């Protein structure tokens, strides 16, 4: 009975000490420190009233170009920058696993042995003084920090948030890379088409020069017209050379984006496909923010920073550890595993910050600032996404209308050329009129090529602005809404 009383007394003392320590926690306080930034109200910035986005994550396949599809797929598999984002995801996963492991009980084992001569002139019993003995111990110990105030749980949630942000960053990088490859491919196709127009222009300039030579011999033109006609030919050749340079640079850029050496695409010579008619929303889609991986990443960073703040707040409270050990310790290996050499211990350890010269408050203020920074970064990402989508919708609609007008102009120029040819054949018009009409056709065709490329490019920009087919996992949406 007396033994039970001693145990109850010890427990009462322990609880009393713990209560006092919790009371003393007020000596280190987080009062007066809190995040100030608030997430932006999207509906006040730009109402999201459009129909949900219908965009495949392989949206570029709608162009119907096998070479383009192969380049995008190779880039997604081989681009070194994209490999870096994947490694960041793996690192974030490893960090989350480490934080989770730190929450679990820990057990260690150890064995120590020391051969030692003891001093003959120290306060040791005669059996040891001046003699050489071997002391040894073997110990199995365990410890576990109780997460009473939620610090470890908050740290784990922060690590999970960081992992999900890294995964969303990886998806955003994939969307950006695919968009850049498509846009660069369109530019190469534009340059190839422009070169074809320039070659036809060169042939036409040479025909004009031949006609001028004939007119000079007939006394109808002078050396002035002859020199002007001759000078136009090297001008076109220089333009062709400039386009060839741009084509080569475009191939190099495509090779880089797809993770290949600069000479890998020397034979690539695409042509502009028909304009991709993505469904262009009339208003910003209602699910725009959920379809943007960069927004998802920014949102998870806010979540991670908020959990880090909770963990910093929990540091103001006591930490409670349970520990236990069991083993043997003896002087003399022959006695190490005897019953009398046993040593056993168990008990709690409570630590409470009382005076730390402001370290905890400074850390908490730092984490609070991190939350504000994450929220403002999220707001900036939201604002940028809204502008990206609005700009892309505007550009696509305008580019389509301009392309229609360019095609009408080209059709008119082609009809005028046909009439000039017909008049020339029946002797009612001159060959110079035919060449002049053809010059207009080539100019309109060049403008139509440029506008077609711009329309295709704006479609690629729209696909990226609408998220590139990214869909946030449903489980993450549920977690964030909670």
pLDDT one-digit tens code per residue, 313-362: 998 999 889 999 998 888 877 778 788 888 998 888 888 888 777 888 89
Does 258 lie in the same domain as 324? Answer: no
The CATH number given to whatever domain includes residue 340 is: 2.20.200.10
pLDDT, mean of residues 221-244: 86
* 29 within domain boundaries: no
pLDDT tens-digit map of 243-254: 999 999 999 999
Sign of CA dihedral 419, 420, 423, 424: negative
| pLDDT of res. 207 | 85
Does 395 lie in the same domain as 279? Answer: yes
Does 387 lie in the same domain as 343? Answer: no
* 5 within domain boundaries: no
Q: Find out whether 258 and 75 touch, Cβ atoms under 8 Å.
A: yes
Asked if pLDDT for residue 424 goes beyond 80, the answer is: no
Output the DSSP codes for 421-472. Answer: HHHHHTTSS-HHHHHHHHHHHHHHHHHHHHHHHHHHHHHHHHHHHTTTT---
The gap from C-alpha 228 to its chain's centroid, in whole angstroms, comes to 55
Domain that holds residue 117: 106-146+320-351
Does 395 lie in the same domain as 341? Answer: no
Place of tokens 């409570």: 350
Helix pair 474-481, 293-314: axis angle to 10 deg: 50
Per-residue confidence band for 64, with pLDDT thresholds at 50, 70 and 90: confident
Cα–Cα separations (whole angstroms), residue 287 to 295, 303, 351, 387: 12, 20, 48, 15
pLDDT tens-digit map of 271-293: 876 656 666 777 777 778 888 99
* 48 within domain boundaries: yes
Does 330 lie in the same domain as 454? Answer: no
| pLDDT of res. 100 | 92
* 455 within domain boundaries: yes
Does 133 lie in the same domain as 47? Answer: no
The CATH number given to whatever domain includes residue 249 is: 1.20.1600.10
For the chain, the maximum distance between any two Cα atoms, rounded to a whole number of angstroms, is: 138
Does 420 lie in the same domain as 311? Answer: yes
Does 239 lie in the same domain as 200? Answer: yes
* 416 within domain boundaries: yes
Per-residue confidence band for 1, with pLDDT thresholds at 50, 70 and 90: very low
Does 300 lie in the same domain as 223? Answer: yes
DSSP conformation class of 293: H
Length of the chain in terms of residues written: 482
* Planar angle of CA 104, 108, 110, nearest 5 degrees: 175
pLDDT tens-digit map of 19-44: 555 554 445 677 778 888 888 877 67
pLDDT tens-digit map of 72-85: 999 999 999 999 99
| pLDDT of res. 288 | 80
Q: What is the pTM of this model?
A: 0.82
Does 395 lie in the same domain as 334? Answer: no
Does 395 lie in the same domain as 325? Answer: no
* Planar angle of CA 33, 35, 39, nearest 5 degrees: 170
| pLDDT of res. 356 | 75
Query: How many other C-beta atoms are found inside a 10 Å radius of the C-beta of residue 244?
Result: 13
* 9 within domain boundaries: no
* 6 within domain boundaries: no
Total domain count for the chain? 2
Does 332 lie in the same domain as 285? Answer: no
Alpha helices, H only, 122-222:
151-217
């Amino acid at each position: 009975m007396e033994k039970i009383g001693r145990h109850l007394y010890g427990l009462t003392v322990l609880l009393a000490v713990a209560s006092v320590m919790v009371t003393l926690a007020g000596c280190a306080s987080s009062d007066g420190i809190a995040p100030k930034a608030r997430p932006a109200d999207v509906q006040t910035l730009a109402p999201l009233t459009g129909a949900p986005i219908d965009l495949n994550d392989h949206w570029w396949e709608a162009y119907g170009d096998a070479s383009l599809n192969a380049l995008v797929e190779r880039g997604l598999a081989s681009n070194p920058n994209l490999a870096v984002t994947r490694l960041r995801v793996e690192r974030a996963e490893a960090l989350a696993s480490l934080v989770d492991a730190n929450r679990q009980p820990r057990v260690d084992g150890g064995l120590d042995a020391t051969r030692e001569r003891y001093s003959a002139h120290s306060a040791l019993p005669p059996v040891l003084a001046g003699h050489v003995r071997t002391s040894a111990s073997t110990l199995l110990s365990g410890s576990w920090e109780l997460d009473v105030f939620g610090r470890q749980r908050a740290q784990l949630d922060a690590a999970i948030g960081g992992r999900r942000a890294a995964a969303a960053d990886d998806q955003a990088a994939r969307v950006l890379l695919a968009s850049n490859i498509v846009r660069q491919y369109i530019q190469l196709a534009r340059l190839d088409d422009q070169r074809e127009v320039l070659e036809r222009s060169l042939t036409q300039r040479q025909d004009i020069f031949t006609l001028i030579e004939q007119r000079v011999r007939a006394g109808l033109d002078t050396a002035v017209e002859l020199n002007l006609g001759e000078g136009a030919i090297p001008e076109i050749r220089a333009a062709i050379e400039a386009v060839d340079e741009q084509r080569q640079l475009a191939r190099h850029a495509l090779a880089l984006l797809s993770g290949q050496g600069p000479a890998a695409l020397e034979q690539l010579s695409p042509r502009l496909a028909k304009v991709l008619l993505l469904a262009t929303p009339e208003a910003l889609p209602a699910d725009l923010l959920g379809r943007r991986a960069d927004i998802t990443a920014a949102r998870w960073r806010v979540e991670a920073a908020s959990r880090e703040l909770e963990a910093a707040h929990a540091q103001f409270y006591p930490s409670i550890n349970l520990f236990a050990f069991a083993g043997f310790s003896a002087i003399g290996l022959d006695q190490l595993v005897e019953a009398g050499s046993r040593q056993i211990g168990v008990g709690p350890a409570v630590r409470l910050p009382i005076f730390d010269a402001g370290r905890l408050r400074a850390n908490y203020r730092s984490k609070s600032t991190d939350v504000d920074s994450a929220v403002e970064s999220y707001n900036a990402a939201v604002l940028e996404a809204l502008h990206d989508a609005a700009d892309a919708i505007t550009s696509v609609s305008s580019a389509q209308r301009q392309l229609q007008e360019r095609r009408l102009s080209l059709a008119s120029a082609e009809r005028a050329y046909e009439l000039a040819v017909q008049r020339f054949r029946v002797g009612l018009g001159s060959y110079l009129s035919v060449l002049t009409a053809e010059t207009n056709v080539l100019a309109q065709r060049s403008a139509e090529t440029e506008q077609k490329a711009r329309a295709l490019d704006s479609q690629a920009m729209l696909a990226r602005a609408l998220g590139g087919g990214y869909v946030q996992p449903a489980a993450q949406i549920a977690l964030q809404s909670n």
